[in-house]
Structure 1
Amino acid sequence: VNQGLEKEGHPLRFFLVKSQGKWLVEVRSIKEGKVLRQLTLAAARRIFRQAVESRGLVLDEKI
């Protein structure tokens, strides 16, 4: 996913991290250098299954 985002010039990257004993997917902005959101694996799976339009992912929708 990160390679595809990089090729298209999107400023988001995804990282798998372990926090307090749970695996999470962090959504980071490489432009701002900060974590925008932490997703559970189930939430990340739902997002990645959805078709991603040319505008990118909507990260502020309620999951």
Structure 2
Amino acid sequence: MTEYHVSPAANQWQVKKKGGSVVSNHRKKRPARERAHEEASPGDRIVVHRQDGTIQESTEKS
């Protein structure tokens, strides 16, 4: 199972695999969330953070 994080970074949003590998950078949160869902396989976890870095939601892709 891979874990993908959608988190703020400077003035953008990043999609990162757990462990630090950056998948993509986006100006807006919604495209970053969409990319995380595209990258994830069934059983992978997607963790979406708020602007302050706290966790907004954590879901498993089915």
TM-score of Structure 1 vs Structure 2, range by shorter chain: 0.3 to 0.5
**TM-score where L is the length of structure 2:** 0.44
Comparing both structures, which one devotes a greater share of its residues to helix? 1
Higher relative contact order (CA 8 A, sep 6+): 2
**Rg bigger for which structure?**
1
